[in-house]
């Protein structure tokens, strides 16, 4: 039980540290993904795995989704046209994750769980997201999709149709008539 002087405070527990904060409740955004209670993967691990593939990419976001089995769903925008399809990109990133995290590698070996699913986003998806956020009046801290655990609303905004640039018609010359 909290003492009367602490009643207006919120206790935020992040194992093994406990923080006391005054004011409104704090929304905690998890930057670690726990997969099947077997492994915990961080933003750094995902970033390293993507970088080690040497794929040229614009940006990415990943979250755990519950389907028949837990799935790590990576949404990735490649920078340039690439001959790899989603299955091939999944394979190369999965290989790097297995090299970086032994527990992740054991998921497939011990549990038969193929955890990674990749969705390739159209070119311009993340740029368009930032523009939509700016137009909606979002502050600077909310212009980008977080790399870990984006909300459904963020993904819905990210998936909205990418608006192609409006072609600019060349100026027409006026011909003087007499």
The pLDDT assigned to 139 comes to: 87
- The stretch 133-149 carries a mean pLDDT of 89
Number of Cα atoms under 13 Å in the Cβ half of residue 131: 11
pLDDT tier at 24, thresholds 50, 70, 90 = low
Tell me the per-residue pLDDT of 81-132, one tens digit each, with 9 for 90 and over. Answer: 778 899 999 999 999 999 999 999 998 888 888 899 999 999 999 999 999 9
Residue percentage of the chain with pLDDT more than 90: 44
- The stretch 49-54 carries a mean pLDDT of 96
- The stretch 133-145 carries a mean pLDDT of 88
Residue 10 scores a pLDDT above 60? no
- The stretch 158-167 carries a mean pLDDT of 61
User: Which helix (DSSP H) or strand (DSSP E) does residue 120 occupy?
Assistant: strand 116-120
In 3D, which of 74, 145, 152 has the Cα closest to residue 115?
74
Higher pLDDT, 175 or 137: 137
Domains annotated on the chain, with CATH: 32-159 (3.30.300.30)
Measured CA to CA, the distance from residue 74 to residue 31 in angstroms comes to 14
- The stretch 68-76 carries a mean pLDDT of 91
Alpha-helical runs (H) found in 17-170: 43-52, 86-100, 102-111, 125-135, 152-159
The pLDDT assigned to 68 comes to: 83
pLDDT tier at 177, thresholds 50, 70, 90 = low
Q: What are phi and psi of 85, to 5 degrees?
A: -95, 180
Residues sharing a CB contact under 8 Å with residue 48, sequence separation 6 or more, in sequence order: 96, 100
Residue 19 scores a pLDDT above 50? no
Give 129: exposed, middle or buried? Use CB within 10 Å, 0-12, 13-18, 19+. buried
Q: Which of 4-13, 71-80, 112-121 has the lowest mean pLDDT?
A: 4-13
The SS3 call for residue 106 is helix
Higher pLDDT, 137 or 8: 137
């Amino acid at each position: 039980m909290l003492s009367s002087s602490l009643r207006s405070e919120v206790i935020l527990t992040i194992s093994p540290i406990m923080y006391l904060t005054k004011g409104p409740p704090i929304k905690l955004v998890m930057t670690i993904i726990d997969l099947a209670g077997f492994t915990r993967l961080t933003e750094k691990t995902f970033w390293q795995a993507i970088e080690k593939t040497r794929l040229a990419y614009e940006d990415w976001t990943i979250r755990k989704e519950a389907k028949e089995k837990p799935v790590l769903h990576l949404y990735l925008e490649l920078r340039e046209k690439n001959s790899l399809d989603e299955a091939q990109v999944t394979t190369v990133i999965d290989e790097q994750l297995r090299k970086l995290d032994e527990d992740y590698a054991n998921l497939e070996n011990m549990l038969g769980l193929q955890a990674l699913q990749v969705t390739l986003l159209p070119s311009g998806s993340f740029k368009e997201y930032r523009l939509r956020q700016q137009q909606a009046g979002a502050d600077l801290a909310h212009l980008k999709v977080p790399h870990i655990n984006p909300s459904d609303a963020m993904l819905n905004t990210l998936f909205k149709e990418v608006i192609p640039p409006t072609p600019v018609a060349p100026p027409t010359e006026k011909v003087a008539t007499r």
